């Protein structure tokens, strides 16, 4: 069985999650900071809704790195690493 690229990426780092803005919104980190909904991006579609209010639950489940995918370009625009005490955000150009 051939894996697609997203399966290979996720398989190589199970602590990583890819997310997109929910309800057709454009990608905005201000929306994430405001606690608006995003959706988990899976290799076969979309997963559950989530927001920044779920960070503690994500940490408890071993997730510590989020990649924010721009649905218009299908490229990763931001990443947020919350593996330690602090949350670190990186803008990807």
- What whole-number distance in Å separates Cα of residue 10 and Cα of residue 65? 11
At 58, give phi and psi (nearest 5°): -65, -45
pLDDT digits (tens, 9 = 90+) for 9-66: 555 667 888 999 999 999 999 999 999 999 998 878 888 999 999 988 988 888 889 9
3-state helix, strand, coil in the chain (%, to 5): 25, 35, 40
Which DSSP letter does residue 63 get? -
The pTM of the whole model exceeds 0.85: no
Q: Is 41:50 a contact under the CB 8 Å cutoff?
A: no
CB under 8 Å to 73, separation ≥6 — which residues?
Answer: none
């Amino acid at each position: 069985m051939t894996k697609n690229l997203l399966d290979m990426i996720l398989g190589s780092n199970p602590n990583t999650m890819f997310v997109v803005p929910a309800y057709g919104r454009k990608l905005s980190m201000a929306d994430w900071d405001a606690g608006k909904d995003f959706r988990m991006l899976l290799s076969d579609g979309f997963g559950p809704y989530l927001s920044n209010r779920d960070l503690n639950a994500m940490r408890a489940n071993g997730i510590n790195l989020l990649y924010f995918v721009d649905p218009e370009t299908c490229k990763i625009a931001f990443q947020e690493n919350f593996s330690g005490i602090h949350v670190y955000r990186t803008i990807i150009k």
